[in-house]
Structure 1
Amino acid sequence: MERKVKNVFVEGAINPSFIAESIAHHQHKTQIGAHDIFLGQVRADKIDGKTVGAIEYTAYEEMANQKFHEIRESAFDQYDLTCMHIYHSLGSVPVGELCLFVFVSSPHRKTAFDAIRYVVEEIKAQVPVFGKEIFEDDSYQWKVNT
């Protein structure tokens, strides 16, 4: 089944109540035996004596959404998944707040574990989302994914 390209972007930080609601919406899907969730959180890294206070995310949205879609479809081809949700922040996200939410569901836990790792690593390697680390003194530098 060909799925349509979705917009995965949300403005600002991802609210924990949104995550809880996403989980709750799956209670009626009784073929699911396991969920796995990855939450990316902004760290207060210290770089050259300065502390990160926030990350400002930008993206070439059309291309990024296409890449998210390709990764999602690839995961469905490789793993026995029931469903998957991906959300990524745009704009400013303060330290301690969530910027990436990946949620996979499967009949079995090992599949969910393996799929979440695959999806997150592919996102980091392929998706054109850019983070500008804003330091507490309002200076900045572009973040490099590792």
Structure 2
Amino acid sequence: MKKIKKFFIEGPINPAFVAESITKHTVKTTIGGHSIFLGQIREDAIDDKKVQAIDFTTYEEMALEKAHEIREEIITKYGLTCAHIYHSLGKIKVGEICLFVFTSAPHRKEAINACDEMVDRIKKEIPLWGKEILEDESHIWKENR
């Protein structure tokens, strides 16, 4: 069994980290396609108040185990060369990146389909909660849509 990888990052995911991750994969010459999903905090309006940030929290031990399970299942199902998941914890402001999913495979369709399924499963299955912080500093617990 593979070691469970940490995938939470305190604060927003830096675009330079995304670029570095892509660069590291150029030496893996069996990869023919990558798929990347970047989740960004959107400025929604709730009761005529703009969302300014989302404060993410989790039950980390359970979340890491579930993420590992999802990752391993999807690697096997799609024959991936590799797959990476990173999710922010803490207060992430509008416009900042909070989720980075990166899948690689010998062929593009497998990478694309795997990435799509992984994002869907992360949102549905991982114990991760977001409190939307509104412009007046009030908050509401976010529901995945």
TM-score strictly above 0.5: yes
Q: CA deviation at 1:115?
A: 0.4
Partner secondary structure for residue 80 of structure 2: coil
Stretches of 4+ aligned residues off by more than 2 angstroms: none
> Which position in structure 1 is the counterpart of 2:125?
126
- Distance in structure 1 (CA, Å) of the matches to 2:17 and 2:103: 15
Structure 1 gaps of 5+ residues are: none
Identity %: 58
Partner secondary structure for residue 100 of structure 2: strand
> Which position in structure 2 is the counterpart of 1:116?
115
User: AA paired with 1:140?
Assistant: H
User: AA paired with 2:136?
Assistant: D
User: AA paired with 1:39?
Assistant: L
- Distance in structure 2 (CA, Å) of the matches to 1:5 and 1:28: 24
Instruction: Map 1:68-79; keep pairs closer than 5 Å.
Output: 68-79=67-78
> Which position in structure 1 is the counterpart of 2:9?
10
Q: CA deviation at 1:76?
A: 1.3
User: AA paired with 1:132?
Assistant: K
Aligned residues: 145
> Which position in structure 2 is the counterpart of 1:37?
36
Structure 2 gaps of 5+ residues are: none
Instruction: Map 1:26-105; keep pairs closer than 5 Å.
Output: 26-105=25-104
User: AA paired with 2:135?
Assistant: E
Partner secondary structure for residue 137 of structure 1: coil
Superposition RMSD in Å: 0.6
Q: Kindly provide the CA deviation profile for residues 82-127 of structure 1, in whole angstroms up to 9, marking residues without a partner as x.
A: 0011100000000000000000000000001110111000001100
> Which position in structure 2 is the counterpart of 1:141?
140
- Distance in structure 2 (CA, Å) of the matches to 1:126 and 1:4: 20
- Distance in structure 2 (CA, Å) of the matches to 1:77 and 1:28: 22
1:22 aligns with 2:10: no
Q: CA deviation at 1:6?
A: 1.2
| TM-score, length basis structure 1 | 0.98
- Distance in structure 1 (CA, Å) of the matches to 2:6 and 2:27: 25
| TM-score, length basis structure 2 | 0.98
